[in-house]
Amino acid sequence: MTLQRIDAGARMSDAVIHHQTLYYTSVAADAALDEDITGQTRSALAAIDAMLARCNTDKRRLVDATIFLPDAADFAGMNAVWDNWVEAGSAPVRCTVQAGLMNPRYKIEIKIVAALS
């Protein structure tokens, strides 16, 4: 049983791979923190796409997604971006939780689990 930590730091790793499964959490890039929920969602999803590609897999292999939103009013805007991003017929199990995020500029945080190719 190998455990691969990607860009491990003292406090956390960017991602972890275990048993051919990728665990990753994404937020909007610093450059997108002044954007609304649609811009921040696009940024967070682009970071997910980049990590999936780095691990030789893609969004069709998503198993689970948990989305954290500080403001429930952003649910519709987030869903509009998500619905255009997710592959038809390959949507993961998903839940959305209203939660305070540690950086008040974050409008979204997305935690995913994906199978590796």
pLDDT for res 2: 86
Mean pLDDT rounded to a whole number for the chain: 96
H helices within the chain, ranges in order?
A: 37-54, 75-85
Per-domain residue ranges of the chain: 3-115
pLDDT in tens, 23-67: 999 999 999 999 999 999 999 999 999 999 999 999 999 999 999
Q: Give the C-alpha separation, 31 to 111, whole Å.
A: 20
Q: Which class is 3-115 in CATH?
A: alpha beta
| pTM, 2 dp | 0.95
Residues 88 and 60: beta-carbon distance below 8 Å: no
The amino acid that residue 9 corresponds to is G
pLDDT on residue 1: 63
Would the pLDDT of 117 be above 80? no
- With tokens 């997305």, the residue in question is 110
